[in-house]
């Protein structure tokens, strides 16, 4: 007599039988033949093992195809959208700026169609890729000329390499910054082929320090915005205007690296002031560099604006070709910059600014509105209340200026590990929800949840397996 598990094993469908089901045909359409076959083999291996362990009826071909589907779809795409409820508006690890609708539309159109990327439509001849942005950047900054590269790190690298290769660049010891992601000014200078000449001290640098350092070998004077830190107390530095005059007298260009920079005075929206690009140009720096995806609220990019002769020299550097920007981003940058022509409506149209200017009362009302549903979803193991919190701009911009905001403040009624499990489960959702754990609570800062996305947020939360949270409880 045959043992029942052996009979079941014999009844397991062949790979080809599973592949022939309508379900598997759909899977092949979606995921491709090879991955689908692999997943079916894996589903069969699992079934075989289960039948050896305990006698049962063999699964059908359709059941195996469905199991293959869950194996294939267990790993959602890594770059899928998520809810940034960390309270950091420009979170570098979460992709910094969320783009304006106009920028999204422009990038999509550039993906779908041929565009006049390096083509002069008037003359029907070859054009320049930066032409589309040059006049906008000049209009918004007051500079003579402009060029665009991959990011601001590339902009600084390119300027250093163009004007001080094998020569010296002078910089204050108080401005030798490190930005997250290993952008360290001394290392960038070395890689640009530039000898760094440090002047002054950490807290005090004077005009004479710069003057004494300038000589025949100087290629560039650098001023770097200390974006992500402040030196306070007994301090002195040389303002851009004075430094520009010192550099000009020596016949050397001054590069002012603004980091975030801003194309509008943020104080008109009730935010702390950052130096604007227009001011930096007016102060006399021959070159000004800034980022596309920090306060500007566009895609990753780096801009150099300044004197025409110098920008043309930069464009002739072969490195420019290696650091250039593709058509998708050029389209998105152009659409983003155009929004700056109408500063009155900028806060409605540019998500970065919209999030930054949201008032505490509005955010708190939103948190109150969502609190009952969230509390209901999380169940009795968690206490959910509305609490005050502080948001940050992020990306090193305005590091000391926090913004008063409101959060859903979640505490575990049981052990603290319950809260960590909840945070992990929220990160594992098909559309992850990312908060911030502090002082024994999980903060979901509502600043960056657009009102239009509230329903999506609640739908994402509905996918949370609260049994799962309880099941693993100690």
Ligand X SMILES: *Cc1c(COP(=O)(O)O)cnc(C)c1O
Binds ligand X by CB under 6 A, chosen from 44, 64, 153, 444: 153
Binds ligand X by CB under 6 A, chosen from 8, 21, 37, 151: 151
Evaluate whether 118 touches 108 at the Cβ level (below 8 Å).
no
Strands 119-120 and 287-291, how do they pair? unpaired
CB of 64 to ligand X, least distance (A): 48
Binds ligand X by CB under 6 A, chosen from 133, 143, 179, 429: 179
Q: Is 256 in the site for ligand X (CB under 6 A)?
A: no
Fill in the per-residue mask, 186 to 225: x = in contact with ligand X (CB under 6 A), - = not in contact: --------------------------------------xx
Binds ligand X by CB under 6 A, chosen from 36, 227, 276, 366: 227
Q: Considering only 77-85, 152-160, 328-336, 350-358, which stretch makes contact with ligand X by CB under 6 A?
A: 152-160
Burial (CB < 10 A; 0-12, 13-18, 19+), residue 39, is buried
Task: Taking the CA atoms of 100, 103, 108 and 109 in sequence, report the sign of the dihedral they define.
Answer: positive
Binds ligand X by CB under 6 A, chosen from 8, 147, 152, 262: 152
Element at 385 (helix H, strand E): strand 382-391
CB of 329 to ligand X, least distance (A): 12
CB of 227 to ligand X, least distance (A): 3
- Please work out the total of residues on this chain that contact ligand X, with binding judged by CB under 6 A: 16
Q: Is 291 in the site for ligand X (CB under 6 A)?
A: yes
Rounded to an integer, what distance in angstroms lies between the CA atom of residue 139 and that of residue 49? 69
Evaluate whether 339 touches 102 at the Cβ level (below 8 Å).
yes
CB neighbours of residue 392 within 10 Å? 21
Strands 83-84 and 433-434, how do they pair? parallel
- 386-425 positions binding ligand X, by CB under 6 A: 396
CB of 207 to ligand X, least distance (A): 22
Evaluate whether 430 touches 460 at the Cβ level (below 8 Å).
yes
Rounded to an integer, what distance in angstroms lies between the CA atom of residue 18 and that of residue 41? 10
Q: Considering only 254-262, 309-317, 445-453, 460-468, which stretch makes contact with ligand X by CB under 6 A?
A: 254-262
Nearer to ligand X, 39 or 393 (CB): 393
CB of 131 to ligand X, least distance (A): 22
Q: Is 257 in the site for ligand X (CB under 6 A)?
A: yes
Strands 254-259 and 168-172, how do they pair? unpaired
Rounded to an integer, what distance in angstroms lies between the CA atom of residue 421 and that of residue 231? 40
Which residues of this chain interact with ligand X, rule CB under 6 A? 151-153, 156, 177, 179, 183, 224-225, 227, 257, 259-260, 291, 302, 396
């Amino acid at each position: 007599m045959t043992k029942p598990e052996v009979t079941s094993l014999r009844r397991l469908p062949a790979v080809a039988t599973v592949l022939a089901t309508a379900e598997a045909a759909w899977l092949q359409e979606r995921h491709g033949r090879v991955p689908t076959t692999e997943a079916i083999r894996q589903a069969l291996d699992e079934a075989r093992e289960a039948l050896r362990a305990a006698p049962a009826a063999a699964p059908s071909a359709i059941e195996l195809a469905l199991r293959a589907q869950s194996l294939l779809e267990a790993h959602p795409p890594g770059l899928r959208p998520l809810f940034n409820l960390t309270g950091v508006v420009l979170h570098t690890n979460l992709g910094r700026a969320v783009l304006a609708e106009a920028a999204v539309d422009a990038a999509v159109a550039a993906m779908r169609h041929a565009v006049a990327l390096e083509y002069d439509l008037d003359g029907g001849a070859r054009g320049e890729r930066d032409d589309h942005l040059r006049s906008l950047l000049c209009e918004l900054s007051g500079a003579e000329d402009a060029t665009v590269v991959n990011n601001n790190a590339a902009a600084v690298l390119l300027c250093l390499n163009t004007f001080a290769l094998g020569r010296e660049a002078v910089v204050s010891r108080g401005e030798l910054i490190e930005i997250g992601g290993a952008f360290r000014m001394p290392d960038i200078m070395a890689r640009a082929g530039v000898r760094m000449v440090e002047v002054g001290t950490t807290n005090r640098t004077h005009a004479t320090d710069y003057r004494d350092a300038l000589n025949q070998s100087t290629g560039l004077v650098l001023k770097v915005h200390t974006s992500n830190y402040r030196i306070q107390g007994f301090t002195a530095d040389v303002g851009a205007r004075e430094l520009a005059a010192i550099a000009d007298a020596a016949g050397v260009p001054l590069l002012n690296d603004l980091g975030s920079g801003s194309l509008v005075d943020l104080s008109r929206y009730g935010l702390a002031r950052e130096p604007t690009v227009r001011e930096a140009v007016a102060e006399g720096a021959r070159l000004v560099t800034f980022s596309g995806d920090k306060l500007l609220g566009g895609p990753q990019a780096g801009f150099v604006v300044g004197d025409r002769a110098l920008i043309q020299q930069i464009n002739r550097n072969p490195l420019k070709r290696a650091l250039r920007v593709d058509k998708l981003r050029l389209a998105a940058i152009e659409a983003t910059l155009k929004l700056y022509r109408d500063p009155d409506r900028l806060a409605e149209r540019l998500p970065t600014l919209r999030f930054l200017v949201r008032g505490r009362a509005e955010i708190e009302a939103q948190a109150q509105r969502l609190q009952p549903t969230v509390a209901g979803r999380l169940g009795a193991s968690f206490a959910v209340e509305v609490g005050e919190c502080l948001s940050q701009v992020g990306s090193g911009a305005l590091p000391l200026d926090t913004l008063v905001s409101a959060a859903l403040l979640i505490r575990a009624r049981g052990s603290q590990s319950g809260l960590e499990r909840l945070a992990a489960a929220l990160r594992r959702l098909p559309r992850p929800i990312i908060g911030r754990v502090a002082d024994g609570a999980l903060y979901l800062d509502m600043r960056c949840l657009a009102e239009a996305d509230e329903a999506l947020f609640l739908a994402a939360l509905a996918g949370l397996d609260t049994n799962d949270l309880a099941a693993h409880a100690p």
